Amino acid sequence: MSDLHDHHPYAPSRIRALPSWLLGRAAARGQRLVAEALAAEGMRMMHHAVLSAVAELGPVSQADLARTLSIDPKDMVAIVNDLQRDGLVTRTPDPNDRRKNAVEISADGERRLRRTQKLGDEANAELTAALTPAERDQLIDLLTRIALPPC
């Protein structure tokens, strides 16, 4: 068997030429690289995504976070519980609706987010290391057009 098959799962040549197959392989590699990088900070990818969203959206309800990130509300509660336990976010009752909690990033959360963003950037640089900066920009543009088509 060739070296190609020693490091990559076998797929017939017709399948290997499909954009969907290549995108899936690239996505799996990217997720693995980012997950490994974030693990160095004790952070899981979903927790990083939620922390990033809280930082960007400011005080935000858990329900809005769940909708925005397409995360099941029960899973969001568990993630926010983890982030709060680790001192990365605070949760306070929403002054307009006491049934809701407003989630906000803490100073420790901001520091951790800066570190995890740097690690994520490094992992993505490793993912695209075979590309020139112009090719990387072009790849991002093309993937954006595929992944986020206009409504």
- Distance, CA of 120 to CA of 48 (rounded, Å): 10
pLDDT in tens, 118-145: 999 999 999 999 999 999 999 999 999 9
- The Cβ-side half-sphere exposure at 17, using a 13 Å CA radius, reads 3
The pLDDT score that the predictor gives to residue 100 is: 82
User: Under CATH, to which class is 18-147 assigned?
Assistant: mainly alpha
pLDDT in tens, 56-88: 998 999 999 999 999 999 999 999 999 999 999
pLDDT in tens, 27-53: 999 999 999 999 999 999 999 999 999
Residue 4 has pLDDT above 80, yes or no: no
Residue 3 has pLDDT above 50, yes or no: no
